[in-house]
Amino acid sequence: MKAVVQRVTHASVAVGGTVVGSIHTGLLVLVGIANTDSLAEVNWMAKKILSLRIFPDSDGKMNCSVVDVEGGILLVSQFTLYGELKKGTRPSFIKAANPDLAEPLFNQLVETIASNTSVQVATGKFGEMMQVALENDGPVTIVLERHSSDIGPSMI
């Protein structure tokens, strides 16, 4: 599982011109799910997203999580994070999970995050063409990645 986490002042996602999810200060998280991912990756990613300390404390140091600042989290599924360009210029997505696997894992990630925090959690619409708007704050962008072969499962 891969996630591109961006600290934002606000972000929204629209489908067909209609906003389906939005947040103010918080995290925009683009989520890619691999064909080898399981609940272990979901739990690890949820814990990392909730505890990632990339917001400034009173001294201006990155020392606070989205929970600490009572921000929001906007999760958007994005299979293109698993695009590979080993040959040519057209990406291959063979490592990305098929929707039958990816959608339940994405939904479980949303549920795991939402059930472990009181901050606002919003999403895009799985499998749809979406327009994502954001104002990156900093800019601060972090890439998180966990493979099924990484050591030990993580529980929230």
Which sequence positions are flagged as catalytic?
A: 78-80
DSSP per residue, 15-41: ETTEEEEEESSEEEEEEE-BTT--HHH
HSE value, Cβ hemisphere, 13 Å, CA-based, for 56: 10
Q: Of 130, 82, 136, 127, which is closest to residue 106 (Cα–Cα)?
A: 127
34, 149 Cβ separation under 8 angstroms: no
Q: How far apart are CA 52 and CA 4, in angstroms?
A: 12
CA distances from 11 to 42, 65, 92, 141 (A): 23, 17, 28, 14
- Among residues 33, 113, 43, the alpha carbon closest in space to that of 78 is found at 33
> Using an 8 Å Cβ cutoff, are 22 and 11 in contact?
yes
